[in-house]
């Protein structure tokens, strides 16, 4: 009997010890388990920035940012300023103004090893405020014996606004610790468009050239930095 009680006590002691060790290992596993970082990523559009140096008809700057809201959803936006001179066959004009865009991105990429890379699709709503200056335009004579007449204008059209929707697709990849390179393409559709008398908004800052009056396309190359705010256990 004593031998039996001693055996039961020994087994119970071993089970308690094993249970304690298992609990400690479980805690350690939770502590060292895979986590996902949530935070803010901010950067600049390299395309607009570098174009300002090599194209004497363009000046522009755009700040980009996104905030990870859930595992797959990011709140995203852009804020920028542009000045561009368009020189077509019939007219030459300069557009300048500011814009902002806000929306979301959905990350379809399955990350591993605590990465925050993205292959995403999303949408933006953009608003721009801008002005045009008509530098000169060409009047063609119906009589072929007369050369076209170029008229210097300098007329300004101020207080113009536009708003639009953007469908966005792109990628972002970590190249250094918390440093990301990205690329995105945009398909734009005008929602509102305040145009001046006897002129049209052929170029809108943040929207780019207008095609068929409603559609536009754009893209950007981004360099951004991720600021981690907290971690969530995966």
234 located within any domain = no
Nearest-angstrom CA–CA distance, 67 and 77? 9
Contact 216, 22 (CB under 8 A): no
Higher local confidence (pLDDT), 25 or 157? 157
pLDDT of 21 reads: 36
pLDDT of 123 reads: 98
Containing structural domain, residue 16: 1-33
Are both 168 and 201 inside the same structural domain? yes
Are both 27 and 104 inside the same structural domain? no
Which of 38, 36, 20, 16 shows the shortest CA–CA distance to 28? 20
Are both 136 and 165 inside the same structural domain? yes
pLDDT of 197 reads: 81
Are both 130 and 71 inside the same structural domain? yes
Are both 44 and 82 inside the same structural domain? yes
Fill in the DSSP letter of residue 185. E
Are both 96 and 25 inside the same structural domain? no
Which two structure tokens, joined as six digits, stand for 27?
Answer: 């805690």
Nearest-angstrom CA–CA distance, 232 and 78? 27
Are both 66 and 140 inside the same structural domain? yes
**pLDDT tens-digit profile of 9-59?**
454 343 334 334 334 433 443 444 567 889 999 999 999 999 999 999 999
pLDDT of 49 reads: 95
Torsion over CA: 105, 109, 110, 115 (sign) = negative
pLDDT of 142 reads: 59
Are both 9 and 65 inside the same structural domain? no
**pLDDT tens-digit profile of 183-210?**
999 999 999 999 888 788 889 999 998 8
Are both 19 and 62 inside the same structural domain? no
49 φ, ψ to 5°?
Answer: -65, -50
Q: Output the pTM of the full model.
A: 0.78
Q: What is the DSSP string of 66-92?
A: EEE-SSSEEEEEEEEEEEEEEE-SSEE
How many domains does the chain contain in total? Answer: 2
pLDDT of 141 reads: 59
**pLDDT tens-digit profile of 90-144?**
788 999 999 999 999 999 998 876 678 999 999 999 999 999 998 877 766 555 5
161 located within any domain = yes
120 φ, ψ to 5°?
Answer: -135, 160
pLDDT of 230 reads: 87
Are both 50 and 5 inside the same structural domain? no
Q: The CATH number of the domain where 113 resides is what?
A: 2.40.160.20
What size, in residues, is the chain? Answer: 234
Place of tokens 């522009």: 60
Place of tokens 């979301």: 104
pLDDT of 150 reads: 57
Are both 12 and 98 inside the same structural domain? no
Place of tokens 């094993």: 18
How many CB atoms sit inside 10 A of residue 101's CB? 25
* CB within 8 Å of 193: residues ≥ 6 apart: 162, 201, 204
Which residues sit opposite 68 in a β-bridge? Answer: 74
Contact 47, 61 (CB under 8 A): no
């Amino acid at each position: 009997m004593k031998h039996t009680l001693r055996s039961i006590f020994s087994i119970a002691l071993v089970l308690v010890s094993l249970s304690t060790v298992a609990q400690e290992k479980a805690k350690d596993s939770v502590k060292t388990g895979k986590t996902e970082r949530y935070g803010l990523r901010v950067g600049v559009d390299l395309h607009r920035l570098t174009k300002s140096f090599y194209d004497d008809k363009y000046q522009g700057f755009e700040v980009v940012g996104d905030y990870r809201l859930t595992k797959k959803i990011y709140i995203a936006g852009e804020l920028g300023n542009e000045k561009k001179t368009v020189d077509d066959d019939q007219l030459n004009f300069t557009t300048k103004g500011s814009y902002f865009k806000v929306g979301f991105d959905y990350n379809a990429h399955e990350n591993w090893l605590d990465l925050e890379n993205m292959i995403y699709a999303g949408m933006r709503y953009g608003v721009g405020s801008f002005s045009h200056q008509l530098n000169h335009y060409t009047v063609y004579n119906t009589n072929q014996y007369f050369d076209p007449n170029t008229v210097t204008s300098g007329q300004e059209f101020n207080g113009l606004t536009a708003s639009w929707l953007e469908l966005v697709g792109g990628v972002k990849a970590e190249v250094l610790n918390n440093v990301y390179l990205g690329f995105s393409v945009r398909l734009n559709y005008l929602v509102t468009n305040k145009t001046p008398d006897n002129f049209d908004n052929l170029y809108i800052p943040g929207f780019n050239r207008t095609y068929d009056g409603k559609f536009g396309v754009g893209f950007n190359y981004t360099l951004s930095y991720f600021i981690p705010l907290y971690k969530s256990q995966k």
